[in-house]
Each structure stands twice: as structure tokens, then as C-alpha cells.
Amino acid sequence: MAQQYDLVVIGGGPGGYEAAIRAAQLGYKVACIEKRIHNGKPSMGGTCLNVGCIPSKALLDSSHRYESTQHDLQAHGIGTGDVSIDIATMQARKTKVVEQLTGGVAQLLKGNGIDWLQGTGKLLAGKKVEFIPLNGDEAQTLEPNYVILASGSVPVNIPVAPVDEALIVDSTGALAFDQVPATLGVIGAGVIGLELGSVWRRLGSQVVIFEALDSFLPMADKALAKETQKVLTKQGLDIRLNAKVTATETKDGKVTVKYNQAGEDKEQTFDKLIVCVGRKPYAEGLLSDDAGITLTERGFVQVDDQCKTSVDGVYAIGDLVRGPMLAHKAMEEGVMAVERIHGHAAQVNYDTIISVIYTFPEVAWVGLSEEAAKEKGIEVKTGQFPFAVNGRALAAGEPAGFVKFVADAKTDRLLGMHVLGSGAGDMVHQGMIALEFVSSVEDLQLMTFAHPTLSEAVHEAALSVDGRAIHAIQRKRK
């Protein structure tokens, strides 16, 4: 007889495993179904820990250290001689980081009394779940009181550049190169394309990024996007906007990319090509035809603001539902779903979901951009302060970028924070907390920031909103 569970979570990524752990903390009997095999072993953590957020950050850090050692240490009086990179060692370190974290998640589940069911899960009619073990054992039908769907997403494939896992790869393949390609093409100038392009450019590749849109990072504040493009271009990324790839051809160990840019047909040949044009919900084998779950036209599971689906007692979270495909968003939705199941009035504040691009310098934002606020009919005031005159940034040799605030001109309420700079992904949390507590710009202006720190730029940017920045000449305002 199958084990009876209060809750079954299908998917062991960040959203799924956090939901499972929180439910166990609340006293529920929980099972988490996860089928992933990574490096020949069952692995928790989903895309993020195995082939996404974590391994990419490991490579980003390694490649940054390599480039910094090559080009930046001389200014500090540090001589290094010839600097080399061992890709095998770098990749082994990445694997070790991944295994440490995924193993840690498995231990967390075990320590919380959660059953990790290694295999596939399918939602059936009547809120039942079919579990098929990876080891070939007989399928089981589970009858939990609640189900959370957390199966995540997969890369979008495009017909003009079919992934062959040799010359043309997706984001997963781009994390596993065993040598630095002399020339590298990247289709897509989004978050993933910029991060992966940055990794291999730092290690020595000549990188060209093709972006079909005629604008760079259109989801970001225009000032932030403009400066980011300038900085990354100066670093050596060849970012080609309005460049739509029309075909690819592999021959003699090379891949030729044919594209149309501003009406002109062009082509260029590379050693490798990365396709990263976005991700889509992964629902293959997740739902039976009579499960009763409503999907959107784009294949997302239809949910309300609390992640409830069209079936009572069934929730869906993370990349499977509307909103940004971010691990931290999935995590909070997983916890919210469990809290709602437990009778708590939990709610994710979707207005304070942070976005980060882990290039160097980092790019991060939270809340509304200046343009988005104006589109909502809000009269705005903005303030901006550069790291180029921040003492800590100059001492660290990291002067690129700025902090920008967007506020309501009538109420002084903070609407958004935008950062390009070293540690931007951490610094932007100051704006997130301020937004969560409905702070005014004056609240930030009245706070004391330690000197010398990068965060002083946050204080100065807040002061700049009202023309009061101390360490920058301010235009007189009427």
C-alpha cells in the first residue's frame, strides 16, 4: 500500500524543496518527487543548483579572478608573471560546489523527515499523483491532501539553431566546455547570454552576442541599460542589436551563423554557438488529460495571486507560472503556498522581486524603472550617484556604475532602485527593504551610512533625488 502523505511536491528545485521543508516544519507528512540525474547520480536542487544559478556563478567567479589577476593586480603593485587557466580544474571546482549544495539539500530533506521519491510524478484526476520510480519499481498512486507543482522550466529551442550538444549548445552545454573556444557566438542578449558570454570572454574567447531586439535590456531602466551596454562593450563583448539569426550551418568543426541586421544579410563563423533566447515551463508528463488543471496560451499553469490552480488543493509555483523565472521568486511562492495550506494569510509581494545580472560589474534592480513609473501616470523624481567618486569604490579599483532611485514626486514614496556596480546584487536589497516598508526617499536621506563603504552611494543617490548629494555638484532646482 502506498504511503499516505499530507503534501506531495512534484519538483525538487528551489521552490519545491523550500515548500517541502516549510511544510515539514509545520508538521505535515511530505514527499518531494524529483527525477534529475546529474553526473550519474540522483540530484536535488533543480536547474538552479545543478545547471543554472550555482554553476554559472562558480564559473563567473573563477573567470573574474583570472581576468583580474591578468590585468588588475599590477596597479596594486602585485606582480604575477605568466598567468594560465586550467579549464579542467575550474570545471572540477564548479562540480564540487554543485555537489556540496545539492547534497546539502538532500540532507535537509532527510533531516526534516521528508521522503525524496526519486522518479517522475504526474498529477491525475481527483488530486491523485502517479509516481514512477527511476529504479524500475512498480508505479504507485499517491493520494495526498495537497499537491504543489514545481517542475520548473527548460531552455527554449529555435529551429534556426538546433542544439546538437557539440557545436551548438544551450545554457547547460555552455557550462561544460572543456576548453576555451577561440570564437564564440551567443544568440540572446538577456541575462543568461550576458553572463555566459562574460565567462568565456574573460577566459579568452572573442564573443559576439546576437540580439534580435533593437534595444538592450528593455526590461531595465533605460539609464541602467545604456550604461551597462557601454561597460560590457568596453570590456570586449561585441553586442549586436537588431540582429536576427536566420540560419546556422555546421561544417568542419565550425558553426556559421547567418543573420540579418538592420535589413542587411550577414554571416560569421564560430567555434561554438550558445543559444539562450529564454526559457519555457516544463510540464512534460506532469499532467494527465483529466487532471483538471487550466493552462494559459503560453503553456503556463493558470494560478491566482496565491498560486492556487483550478483544482482545489493543488498549487503551482516558480517557472511553471506567471512572473519572472527567478529562483528566489519560486522559493517565496513555495513557502507562501504551504502557509496558505496551513491557514495563514501569506502573500508574496511581487512588487519587490529583485532582478540581478551577474556580470562584472553586476546589474540589479527592484521596483519600477523611471519609464515604467511614467507609463503608470506617476509624476516622478529621480536621483543618481556614480561609484566613480565613491571612496571605497576607488580604493578597490571598481569605479564603474551608479546607484539610481526613482520616487513619486508628489508623495516622496520610493518606487524603484537601480544599480550597476560591484556587489550590486547585494546592495539592491537595501532598496528592496525600503520598498517593502513603503519608505520615502527622505527616510533614506536621514539614515547614517558607514564611511567608507560602497553603500554610501545609496545615501548620496537618495540625497540626489532632491538635489542634495554632498559629493557631486548638484544642479540648482526651482
291 phi, psi to nearest 5 deg: -70, -25
> In the beta sheet, which residues pair with residue 249?
256
Residues facing 245 on adjacent strands: 259
CA angle, 371 then 372 then 378, to 5°? 90
Sign for the CA dihedral angle at 232, 237, 241, 245 comes to negative
Which cell is 399 given?
569605479
Q: Which long-range contacts (CB under 8 A, 24 or more apart) does 129-138 make?
A: 129/8, 129/10, 129/33, 130/288, 131/33, 134/35, 134/37, 134/42
Neighbour count for residue 187 (Cβ, 10 Å): 25
Closest CA to 387 of 379, 375, 377, 395: 395
CA distance 276 to 325: 14
Please answer whether residues 191 and 228 qualify as being in contact, where contact means their C-beta atoms are separated by less than 8 angstroms.
no
For residue 294, what is its C-alpha cell? 487550466
- Alpha carbons 188 and 193: distance in angstroms, whole number: 5
| Residues in CB range of 103: below 8 A, 6 or more apart | none
Residue 54 is which amino acid? I
For the chain, the straight-line distance linking the first and the last C-alpha, in angstroms and rounded, comes to 77
Cβ atoms of 440 and 455 within 8 Å: the answer is no
How far is the C-alpha of 242 from the C-alpha of 209, rounded, in Å? 11
* Structure-block grid coordinates of residue 255: 558553426
Q: Is 342 a catalytic residue?
A: no
Out of 344, 429, 451, 459, the active site residue is 451
CA distances from 345 to 306, 335, 348, 349, 364 (A): 9, 12, 10, 13, 30
Burial of residue 240, with CB atoms counted within 10 A of its CB: 0-12 exposed, 13-18 middle, 19 or more buried:
middle
At 298 the three-state DSSP class reads coil
Active site positions, annotated: 451
